[in-house]
A and B are shown apart, each in its own frame.
Chain A
Amino acid sequence: MIWTIWKKEVESYFSSPLAYVLIGLFSLITGIMFFNLLVTYTDGVQAIPQDMAQNISFVEEVVLKLFANINFLFLIFIPLLTMKLFSEEKRLETIDLFWLSPTKEWQVVLAKGLSALSLVVSMLFMTIIFPLIIWGVGVKDLSLLGTSYLSVLLNACCYISLGLFCSSITRNQIISGLLSILGILFLWMITWGGHLNSNYMISEIFNYIGITSHFERILRGLLGTQDIIYYLSFIFIFGFLTVKSLGRRNW
């Protein structure tokens, strides 16, 4: 059942220009970012004495910054992918097709979530060319590449689950998209709020609830149990809320 719905959703993405436009735009923007980071790095290295230049980490200056920027791009790209997943189906009443069949709400949520994730993976797949270029020009230190990809993928999963929930509570896809963007911004702002607070306990709580601290830890290869628990519980909670929101038609 999940496979059937996933396949239909992915085909639906690729039957409209949306998927191609998003993947193309994403590749273009990340390409420009990569180029800029690379130029800034080489300019920086050339501007200082050779012994000091060794202290400037390529991974730190290019790889990590690139993935942090990719995370920033998701603020717009993922709500664009998720905004119509339920809202449009509710508006057109095609969602009833699922409820007329023995399909369960969680199966629909999981299938739609996986279809959006598939598109994110397609976008990220286009960025594989950057490490290949770096490798090709002789930079062999790509130590944090794996965890960098993992960090943006985990963030994408959270944004998708949040986006699915926003899409399930309205029939208007514009409202759904705006709610998702605001939700993601809020997740970032919680961590900023933590930095501004002088109380250690409150600051730590804010840090844990906000997504940024977990993202940065994984990005730097410091994946811990608390981060795994955070991501899993985030995805589960919003997945659960989406299932409940869809089940509300029964009340």
Chain B
Amino acid sequence: MINIDKILVVDNVSREFPGRKAVTNVSFEVKQGSIHGFLGPNGAGKSTTMRMIAGLLPPTSGEITVLGERVFGDNSNLKNKIGLLPENAPLFLDMSVEKYLHFVAKLHGVKNLNEQVERVMTELSLIDVRRRLIGNLSKGYKQRVGLAQALVYDAPFLILDEPTNGLDPQTVVELRDYIRRLALQKTILFSSHILPEVEQLCDQITIIHQGRVRATGNLTEIHKKFRQGLVLKIGLKMGEDLPDLSHFGKYDVTQEHLVGKEQQFHVIFEDDADCRSELGKYLISCGLNLLTLQVESPELEDIFLQVTETKK
């Protein structure tokens, strides 16, 4: 039975090229309706994995299923259900934007051709450049045309390989907003180097490094997994000092700084049991002015660095 909850299942997939292994036993899942972040440093195997998912490159071993169908099975219809924007958008530079999108739509057998082309051109603000040659467009517009190509046949699953790479800040913001809106109707696998971008856009992530998956799942779960002990941010009135907290367990104060009129301390307890209630009462009983007491999650960047550095 098809589990439509998981739009993509990558099961133990490996890909070898002559003399090197690009990815090894990669497994992860993408839930329907999510934006799934795919992270990894350069050469980690992200693009290879994405090309395999899109059906451009078969795995040496393992299996990939999209919408319950095997990607490398005899199912050419599946090709219309996956949209890919590769790192280098496949653009015919000597074609006009409109003709190019018509061409791609025809390749996918789109029936209401004019309507679909108009729709993507409107959504991606390409109407003004519709008759211009792609080769004469700016990088931002070229990237929009590349994205339009992946959307013109209305595939329910989109793979975007570093779509905001090398674009100016305004285009990046516009594209991010558009991707966020797209996620209301589609499932998106999204790779990026920009970690705050992934944190903003994605609810699920997979971190790949040296061809292996290092972490995968819900962003909160991953945060929890990589949290070492309990990290608390404690804010006291300016000039007040933190008393001895050793009776709550072994701890370490990692940072101390002034934010406005508040003295903030980052305290890590080795034991991750939530002791905020008792700690709050204790600090007040010491006569201190407790202004902030909250659990701090590690930044995605910290997790990313931890994952990609420790397992080298």
Is B104 an interface position by the 8 A CB rule?
yes
Is B80 an interface position by the 8 A CB rule?
yes
Is B254 an interface position by the 8 A CB rule?
no
A233 CA to B246 CA in the complex, in Å? 87
Interchain pairs with CB closer than 8 A, number: 63
Q: Which chain B residues numbered 44 to 81 have a C-beta less than 8 Å away from chain A?
A: 54-58, 72, 76-77, 79-80
Is B86 an interface position by the 8 A CB rule?
yes
* Range for the number of chain A residues in contact with chain B: 20 to 34
Partner of A92 from B55, B90, B109 at Cβ < 8 Å:
B90
Contact across chains for B108 and A102 when beta carbons are under 8 A apart: yes
CB distance from B208 to the nearest CB of A (A): 21
Interface of B is mostly: loop
Is B106 an interface position by the 8 A CB rule?
yes
Residue interface mask B144-183, A partner, CB < 8 A = 1: 0000010000000000000000000000000000000000
Given the interface contacts A102-B77, A249-B56, does A94 sit within 8 Å of B108 by beta carbon?
no
Is A1 an interface position by the 8 A CB rule?
yes
Interface of A is mostly: helix
CB distance from B161 to the nearest CB of A (A): 11
Which residues of the partner chain B approach A103 to less than 8 Å between Cβ atoms? 107
Which residues of the partner chain A approach B109 to less than 8 Å between Cβ atoms? 102
A99 CA to B77 CA in the complex, in Å? 12
A102 CA to B92 CA in the complex, in Å? 19
Residue interface mask A87-128, B partner, CB < 8 A = 1: 000001111111111110000000000000000000000000
Contact across chains for A96 and B107 when beta carbons are under 8 A apart: no
Contact across chains for B94 and A100 when beta carbons are under 8 A apart: no
Q: Give B residues with C-beta under 8 Å from A.
A: 54-58, 72, 76-77, 79-80, 82, 84, 86, 88, 90-92, 94-95, 99, 103-104, 106-109, 149
- 11 A-B pairs with C-beta separation under 8 A: A4-B107, A15-B94, A92-B88, A92-B91, A95-B90, A96-B56, A99-B56, A100-B55, A100-B84, A102-B76, A251-B58
